[in-house]
Chain A
Amino acid sequence: DGGITQSPKYLFRKEGQNVTLSCEQNLNHDAMYWYRQDPGQGLRLIYYSQIVNDFQKGDIAEGYSVSREKKESFPLTVTSAQKNPTAFYLCASSIRTDGDEQYFGPGTRLTVT
């Protein structure tokens, strides 16, 4: 069964702690993306990667970090420098590297208190 998996579904952390969100795909897609979604707002791009060992900052990269050591995996670390980390985090992938036709994983809902 091909798809994109994100884990965990729900994550709770205390302020000041770093946390890593997992994103794995077995679709053989080249491009992967991380977004955050806040209530009543559109998705905002955090980071994206078009090829292994390379990634680009999106509009709201501050306080986040990523790695792309394998084609299948694109983990996101939310650091303590992120001012408002509580959000719904969505990972997407695409066979295309131009940004088109992105497919999403189920998401991780992060709550930081």
Chain B
Amino acid sequence: QKEVEQNSGPLSVPEGAIASLNCTYSDRGSQSFFWYRQYSGKSPELIMFIYSNGDKEDGRFTAQLNKASQYVSLLIRDSQPSDSATYLCAVRSNYQLIWGAGTKLIIKP
């Protein structure tokens, strides 16, 4: 059974600090990794994807991938109250995305 694991949280971070979200996956053959943001009652929104080991930066977001450790993370710099949401990690295995249950992030003003 291919799995993606995330800490459910909530993760509470002060406004302006760095939020660090983590995800581990079981399928060593996975090649594509995605982070989605989901506000309460809304659908997921794709915010980052990464294919290669290392870091990928986009504005305040940085995705980090370590295939040897089967670990992917998302850093959010200068956290804002509007970043409060559930963050879903998804990993592609064959033609499907395998989803974690999400980490709830709360940014405290």
Contacts and interface: CB of A to CB of B under 8 A. Distances in A.
Interface string B88-106: 1010101111111110000
Q: Is the interface of B mostly helix, strand, loop or mixed?
A: strand
Interface residues of A, number: 23
Given A40-B8, A40-B101, A42-B102, A48 B96 contact: yes
Interface stretch (B10-18, B42-50, B53-61, B67-75): B42-50
Contacts of B8: 40
A101 interface: yes
Closest 10 CB pairs of A and B: A42-B99, A104-B43, A43-B99, A99-B95, A107-B43, A42-B101, A99-B92, A100-B32, A104-B44, A106-B43
Interface of A: 40-45, 48, 50, 56, 58-59, 90, 97-107
